[in-house]
Structure 1
Amino acid sequence: MDTATRLLRLLSLLQSRPQWDGAELATKLEITPRTVRRDVTRLRSLGYPIDAEAGIGGGYRLGPGGRLPPLLLEDEEAVAVAVGLRAASTSMVSGVEEAAASALAKLNQVLPARLREQVSAIGAQVAQLPQGELPTIDGETLTTLAAACRDTEGLRFAYSTHDGTDSNRSVEPLRIVHTGRRWYLVARDRDRDAWRTFRVDRITNPERTGIRYTFDNPPDPLAFITESTGIAPWNLVARVRVQVDAETARQQLPPREVVVDPIDANTCELRFAANDLGPLLFQTTRIPWPFEILHPPELRTAVHALGQRLLNT
């Protein structure tokens, strides 16, 4: 194995897991520990930040910063990255589409013919349903919000509500939730002293305040989004007690449509909403476990009537 090939192989190994013992690297590369040390020195001279710790529990690891190392991918990894980039190229986040398309073009240039054919086949045979007119998310805004969530740092931004009312908000961000169609920020509104959801496409000019905070009892972000967008805006709310544990129900029911509240180890309550009985009836008939309708009574009547019709068919 020549030096260049060995250095690339060493970089690939360092990327594959957080830390490597020098003896392990030597065995993998079929070289001596001394050669490993020399190769690490060569990579450092090329701008790759490789940290080393001596003693028990020590070893080599690829640190952050420095030059971006070349990605050396296995066949399955290369196909997965290409498919992911193709999907990202149709996202609604500004800037991501162009970057994903550029990265995909670069990857296609270096893919072996057999893998390029696989990626092309997937692209040609997979169709995406139209999403309708969805708002575009500003990539820089999304990055700023995510960084503030990560660092538990306050945010200030301008916000436009659904009726066009503009306001300035000061919040403590918790999490960004993507429902598949829209992006939401879950945060505690400092001025209103209450938890709120904010559509990311309606947020402009976000600024980090530098003020850190801690949460005493934050809500579950996914459940909070479902409550705020799937329950609160609608006129009719169904409550159904189901003979199954809450975790199983959450795994099998669409989280954007159904809120699951545990009752005990084997029982939970489902809540879902709509503006008329039709969608509630449809949702109820999809429940695969024994259930009891708690509210509203007209839903119970409609389910009984449907059951009778089916028995008489």
Structure 2
Amino acid sequence: MTVTRVLALLELLQAAPGLTGPELAARLEVDERTVRRYAVRLSELGVPVEAARGRYGGYRLLPGYRLPPLMFTDDEAAAVVLGLLAGRRTGLSVGETATESALAKIQRVLPRALRERVEAVQATLGHTRDPAPAEARPKAGPLLTLAEAARRGHTVRLAYRSWRQESSERDLDPYGLVFHSGRWYVTGLDHASGQVRTFRVDRVERVEPAAGPGEPDGRPGPAERPGRARGPEAGRRSFEVPDGFDPVAHVVASLAAVPYRHEVEVLLEMPPAEARERVPASVATLTPTPRGVLLRARAERLDGMALMLAGLGRPFTVVTPDGLREEVRALAGRLARCADAVPAPGDRPPV
């Protein structure tokens, strides 16, 4: 049991460096004193473990230490390969070739029997949705830098390219990263506008720590000059995320508010709970009223909105625009003609 838990500690240090003593103790189901003893045992076996104090302390392997090749069970190998395949399909992966190169490396070290079974999954796996566009995959560097800045509460300087291909630089307090509908987004306080904004990570061309207070030109601050001790937080601008801020909710709401050609308002005759379940927040905002649920949305095409409303299978009243009423009438006419159509004798399948 002791050997098993020592190896489990090693796996935790590989997977999540920086876990504190209480966190490791909880995962290993032992006390903190035992965790320290396990760390000493790993050091005796030639695996250098260091324990650091402070806010960003915890247990970790010494930098530069290389572990022996990983060994996967059948379930673990399948989980890794399927995760890579799913990431490539959904857009959750990063880089242009990272998924393919990672798959190739894993398959090269798998035993032959297991490699053939994994390849069978790749060859026979079908999908019900189109793959995410390759250009939606961000580079690993900006994504990881933004994640670290959001975790530590550090302001960053973004070099960003808009959808109009216009380049700009701005300081951002990244409140969180969100993956939504095949794309990565970062949301936070944009210092240029003074507002909470949402940016696509695949359009971030460069990200770096913002200059510290009193150093707008990025030159070394007092803590960075020779003769001064420099801590990990020196020269960094920090921020606090507003209480109760939900990055996912903000990104979904901001995407739903993107301007389109048509402003749509429709009164749905259904309970609010059902409306929230059937109409995604990224499609429309829903407001309960005494007569039903008021749906507000922006649409590029009104015929698509008519199809969506008809698919709800509930009565509704179009408030605006009048063009949506025309599209609903046109859809009703097409459906009526389909219902009235009678198959010719030759169209019936043989019994």
Same fold at TM > 0.5: yes
**In 2: Cα distance, 1:190 partner to 1:270 partner:** 33
Could you say which residue in structure 1 is the equivalent of 2:312? 287
Question: Is the Cα contact below 8 Å between 2:156 and 2:209 reproduced in 1?
Answer: yes
* Contact 1:273-1:280 within 8 A present in 2 as well: no
Counting only pairs closer than 5 Å after superposition, residues 77-92 of structure 1 correspond to structure 2 as 77-88=76-87
RMSD: 4.1
Aligned residue pairs: how many?
283
- TM-score under structure 2 length normalisation: 0.63
Which runs of 5 or more residues in structure 2 are unaligned? 13-25, 52-57, 211-235, 340-351
Amino acid at match of 1:238: V
Which residue matches 1:278? 303
Task: State the partner residue of 2:141.
Answer: 140
One-letter code of the match for 1:141?
P
2:155 is paired with a residue whose SS is: strand
Where does residue 306 of structure 1 map in the other structure? Answer: 331
Q: Distance in 2 between matches of 1:10 and 1:294?
A: 66
Spell out, residue by residue over 1:115-137, the C-alpha distance to the aligned partner (whole angstroms, 9 max, x if none): 43432111001256454562552
What is the match of residue 227 of structure 2?
none
> How many angstroms apart in 1 are the aligned matches of 2:8 and 2:71?
6
Q: Which residue of 2 aligns with 1:203?
A: 204
Moved more, 150-159 or 294-303: 294-303
Map 1:115-194; keep pairs closer than 5 Å: 115-126=114-125, 129-132=130-133, 134-194=135-195
Residue 18 (structure 1) aligns with: 27
Measure, in 2, the Cα distance between the counterparts of 1:189 and 1:274.
27
Whether 2:240 is the aligned partner of 1:214: answer yes
Partner SS, residue 121 of structure 2:
helix
CA distance in 1 between partners of 2:5 and 2:103 (Å): 22
With over 3 angstroms needed to count, the CA separation of the structure-2 counterparts of 1:47 and 1:252, relative to structure 1, is farther
In 2, distance between residues paired with 1:273 and 1:289?
21
- Give distance in 1, aligned partners of 2:68 and 2:49: 10
What's the CA shift for 1:49?
Answer: 4.2
- Aligned-pair distance for 1:234? 0.6
> CA–CA distance in 2 between the matches of 1:275 and 1:85?
34
SS of 2:61 mapped into structure 1: coil
Structure 2 residue aligned with 1:238, among 259, 264, 268? 264
Say if 1:152 and 1:69 are closer, same or farther in 2 by CA, change over 3 A. Answer: farther
Contiguous gaps of at least 5 residues in structure 1 = 23-32, 52-61
- Comparing both structures, which one devotes a greater share of its residues to strand? 1
Distance 1:275 1:86, change over 3 A: closer
**Matches of 1:111 and 1:38 in 2, distance apart?**
35
